[in-house]
Amino acid sequence: MRAIITGGSGLIGRALCQELIDHGHEVAVLSRNTSKPEGLPSEVQVVEWDAATAKGWGELVNETDAVINLAGESLADGRWTDARKRRIMQSRVNAGQAVLEAISAASTRPKVLVQSSAVGYYGPRTDEVLDEDAGPGSDYLARVCFDWEASTAPVERMGVRRAVIRTGIVLSAEGGALPKILLPFRLFAGGPMGNGRQYWPWIHIRDEVRAIRFLMENENASGPFNLTAPHPLTNKEFASAVGQVMGRPSWLPAPAFALKLALGEMSTVLLDGQRAMPQRLQELGFAFDFTTLDAALKDLLQ
């Protein structure tokens, strides 16, 4: 298959490019950087785009089997000011509208669109078990995810199969959340955040990209899918597992008030959680390489 990836230069995108290339697929990445972004395989074609329209790349859709839309400004690059919250939302909606524009104009449409989203779709849900039938939350992150998903929904009426991936915390040694999580443990100051009872739905980067490829290739895969490992843990359990694997203490809590003071509204990413389960992914027959956090951490850290 030939695939176009938006957001292909990010953590998930780089790993996904390698996964697809390794399994015989052709890959083109849309990037605002005209030179090849660091970390992309040499076989990847880089195509310039403005992250808001189909100008300059839309015609490539005629020769493409799959579009994978991962584009969106990072949530963790600074405090959520009003201006930054608008950029976070607009970057996702604009990218989705650009993909929709390209597919609408194509004379030969792709077979599948994989649309990115996140478990934040469900909002803070304490210990409620969440499969893909659970409704959306009402907080800021839930609204972002809802609009992100909705931005490409019309392609389904055009006969394009669409799989929506609601991703949890992606664990990778190459960046993302894990290095930030590990830092206090390296300083012998690790422990739960807030009361530690919030669930952290996690997934190993290898399973993340394997699942995306699985959904891209599987003609029966459509609708929403939770991309999370089968055994989500509370934050306290997560901290304990990290401490055990690293041989560090894991009892020093980070008080909720301190995190809220330091991070503002962005602290919800750490203090609130979702007990999301990959029910539909497993029903389709996907087998995780890493079902326990211990095994995932040992693979990434040792």
**109-161, pLDDT tens digit by residue?**
999 999 999 999 999 998 999 999 999 999 999 999 999 999 999 999 999 99
> Is 271 inside any structural domain?
no
The verdict on residue 138 lying in a domain is: yes
Sign of torsion over alpha carbons 17, 21, 23, 24: positive
Q: Is residue 81 part of a domain?
A: yes
**38 in helix, strand or coil?**
coil
**Residue ranges making up the domain that contains 138:** 2-172+202-230
Sign of the CA dihedral with 181 first, then 185, 190, and 192 last:
positive
Find the mean pLDDT for residues 31-39: 80
Query: Count H helices, E strands: the chain?
Result: 10, 14
- pLDDT at residue 35, rounded to an integer: 75
The two beta strands, 202-204 and 223-227, are unpaired
pLDDT at 76: 85
Its sign, for the CA torsion 278, 229, 18, 4, is positive
- Tell me the C-alpha to C-alpha distance, in Å, between residue 223 and each of 114, 215, 234, 299: 10, 10, 27, 31
First to last CA, the chain: 34
pLDDT at 32: 85
Domain assignment present for residue 222? The answer is yes
Percent of the chain with pLDDT over 70: 100
The answer to whether residue 272 is domain-embedded is: no
User: Residue 24 maps to which CATH number?
Assistant: 3.40.50.720
Residue 26 lies in a domain: yes
Strand ranges, E, within the chain: 2-6, 26-31, 45-48, 66-69, 112-118, 129-130, 161-167, 169-172, 175-176, 199-200, 202-204, 223-227, 233-234, 275-276
Structural domains counted in the chain? 1
Mean pLDDT of the chain: 96
CA dihedral 219, 172, 152, 91 (to 10 degrees): -170
| pLDDT over 90 at 37, yes or no | no
pLDDT tens profile 226-278:
999 999 999 999 999 999 999 999 999 999 999 999 899 999 999 999 999 99
Phi, psi (deg, nearest 5) at residue 124: -65, 125
Q: Are 66 and 215 in contact (CB under 8 A)?
A: no
**pLDDT, tens only, 61-80:** 999 999 999 999 999 888 99
Q: What is the mean pLDDT of residues 193-209?
A: 97
Tokens of 110: 């792709």
- 299 occurs within a structural domain: no
